[in-house]
A and B are shown apart, each in its own frame.
Chain A
């Protein structure tokens, strides 16, 4: 059997970068949909919350489940970001070189990478704030409490930015992931790439619309909290 002289680490790093990105992206695809349950009314969102707190399995609410889930996502998020800094231009010269290349070349997939770097960088901050809140306040999630946080807690500007960042980053990431590892190449990988590019665009459009609609709904509930019957503001 032949021997390996080179370090194995680069193989692990590349693998983990993609795995962490994949799990995060799939999580986001689900997460934004679950949040959108508010579009079906506060009761639907309430049921969703109960579901994630294990109410339907254990007959009682365990917000600790949310904390654990958020902690797991946070850990993946940190791992993914740590791996990503290897790729983010780290000197002005590198940044400038890439930007010159991108502007001269005007090539979509090259520009999309820049989108990923910028949205990824923004998420260092936006994502951390959001994840920390969910981790430490798991019991304060629900149609009215969340709406209150969005409006009175001034979370809506952060959520608005985070929505655009995470949706762009996740779908461009999934597209790149498929090409990077040669998934779904099919008979003609060039045709598959075109289809995946279309799916990526459709995904971005759909999730931005869904996300904006649910954020809008939370804001509107938050603005009218005083008019809501007090019994509904649960603890």
Chain B
């Protein structure tokens, strides 16, 4: 390797800033000499430093933890900071993740969508009585295997790659996406959350929720944290079908809910 000449990388970046009047989407091409161990994070900084200071993109942690550097890399969603150029061909196309609000160039406002999703699905522990107790109380012990399983799902960094890889959400913008379904699976596993399956059914028991997922598995195949999305969506689907088909769970008879379809 050491005696071969470094590759010349051709980086094509889809650029557009909706906040600049008259700006039109266009591609800018930059030539970069590849260095050992180079990531797209290094490439983009190189471009901003030496070629074009106006290029917009997001980074915080550079270590695949903060979830801010998701982008389309040759059409596939991924984290720029964890993508080695050595794994890519000579020509690399970069574009912002689709679906999210565009800030400019490669920078997107995924945090805003994620916040909305978290509020909608109430992704926090619901623990009514004990919430009121004093904060000095000792936490109840948890089975280590279960803790491990919950932790596995908690590793989601809200990068939005699963959303950008989901064909369903492109056609139905109200779909909660794999990130949302994974979070519900995470709280359902947690014994500290007192919500029942009927409560979860209210949140994801329709075609904007788990029944909207068409098992395209784009999410599963692009998640940079390798979360078990396929398996957890299937798990929630089984639970939600069981709940929906369970006649022992009484249907409330308050008028405003009367067989109302979720879309309205």
How many angstroms between the C-alpha atoms of A185 and B231 in the bound complex? 8
**Which residues of A have CB within 8 Å of B171?**
89, 94, 97-98
**Which residues of B have CB within 8 Å of A89?**
171
Which bucket holds chain B's interface residue count? 35 or more
Q: Is B261 an interface residue (CB 8 A)?
A: yes
**Segment of B105-113, B146-154, B213-221 engaged in the interface with chain A:** B213-221
**Which residues of B have CB within 8 Å of A86?**
207
**Segment of B44-52, B127-135, B251-259 engaged in the interface with chain A:** B251-259
Q: What 1/0 mask marks residues of chain A from 3 to 36 whose CB sits below 8 Å from any chain B CB?
A: 1111111111111000000000000000000000
Partner of B205 from the list A10, A106, A189 (CB cut-off 8 Å) is A10
Q: Which residue on B lies nearest to A113, using beta carbons? A: B216
Q: What 1/0 mask marks residues of chain A from 159 to 195 whose CB sits below 8 Å from any chain B CB?
A: 0000000000000000010011110010001000100
Q: Is B104 an interface residue (CB 8 A)?
A: no
**Are B215 and A6 in contact (CB-based, < 8 A)?**
no
**Are B215 and A176 in contact (CB-based, < 8 A)?**
yes
How many angstroms between the C-alpha atoms of A104 and B243 in the bound complex? 37
Asked, given contacts A9-B259, A97-B170, A97-B171, whether A15 binds B245 with beta carbons under 8 Å apart, the answer is yes
Instruction: Give min CB distance, A20 to chain B, whole Å.
Output: 14
How many angstroms between the C-alpha atoms of A13 and B244 in the bound complex? 10
Q: Is A61 an interface residue (CB 8 A)?
A: no
Q: Which residue on B lies nearest to A104, using beta carbons? A: B75
Q: Is A87 an interface residue (CB 8 A)?
A: yes
How many angstroms between the C-alpha atoms of A113 and B234 in the bound complex? 17
**Are B205 and A110 in contact (CB-based, < 8 A)?**
no
**Which residues of B have CB within 8 Å of A1?**
248-250
How many angstroms between the C-alpha atoms of A113 and B202 in the bound complex? 28
Asked, given contacts A13-B211, A189-B230, whether A7 binds B206 with beta carbons under 8 Å apart, the answer is yes
**Which residues of B have CB within 8 Å of A12?**
244-245
Which of B171, B198, B251, B254: most chain A CB closer than 10 A? B171
**Are B230 and A179 in contact (CB-based, < 8 A)?**
yes
How many angstroms between the C-alpha atoms of A89 and B170 in the bound complex? 11
Q: Which residue on B lies nearest to A11, using beta carbons? A: B244
**Are A2 and B198 in contact (CB-based, < 8 A)?**
yes
Q: Is A201 an interface residue (CB 8 A)?
A: no
How many angstroms between the C-alpha atoms of A107 and B161 in the bound complex? 14
Instruction: Give min CB distance, B231 to chain A, whole Å.
Output: 5
Q: Is B120 an interface residue (CB 8 A)?
A: no
Instruction: Give min CB distance, B105 to chain A, whole Å.
Output: 18
Which of B213, B214, B259: most chain A CB closer than 10 A? B214
How many angstroms between the C-alpha atoms of A179 and B245 in the bound complex? 21
How many angstroms between the C-alpha atoms of A82 and B72 in the bound complex? 36
**Are A3 and B244 in contact (CB-based, < 8 A)?**
no
Q: What 1/0 mask marks residues of chain B from 218 to 231 whose CB sits below 8 Å from any chain A CB?
A: 10010000001011
**Are B259 and A3 in contact (CB-based, < 8 A)?**
no
How many angstroms between the C-alpha atoms of A176 and B230 in the bound complex? 11
Q: Is B81 an interface residue (CB 8 A)?
A: no
User: Which 10 A-B residue pairs are closest in the complex by CB-CB distance?
Assistant: A11-B244, A182-B234, A2-B198, A3-B252, A180-B215, A14-B211, A104-B75, A10-B206, A5-B257, A109-B217
Q: List 30 A-B contacts (CB under 8 A).
A: A1-B249, A1-B250, A3-B251, A4-B243, A4-B244, A4-B252, A5-B202, A6-B201, A7-B259, A8-B245, A10-B211, A14-B237, A15-B241, A97-B171, A98-B170, A101-B167, A101-B170, A104-B72, A106-B75, A109-B217, A109-B218, A109-B221, A110-B167, A113-B167, A113-B216, A176-B215, A181-B234, A182-B235, A182-B237, A189-B230
| A residues at B contact (CB < 8 Å) | 1-15, 86-87, 89, 94, 97-98, 101-102, 104-107, 109-110, 113, 176, 179-182, 185, 189, 193
Q: A8-B251, A110-B216 are in contact. List 5 more A-B contacts (CB 8 A).
A: A2-B249, A3-B198, A4-B251, A110-B167, A181-B238
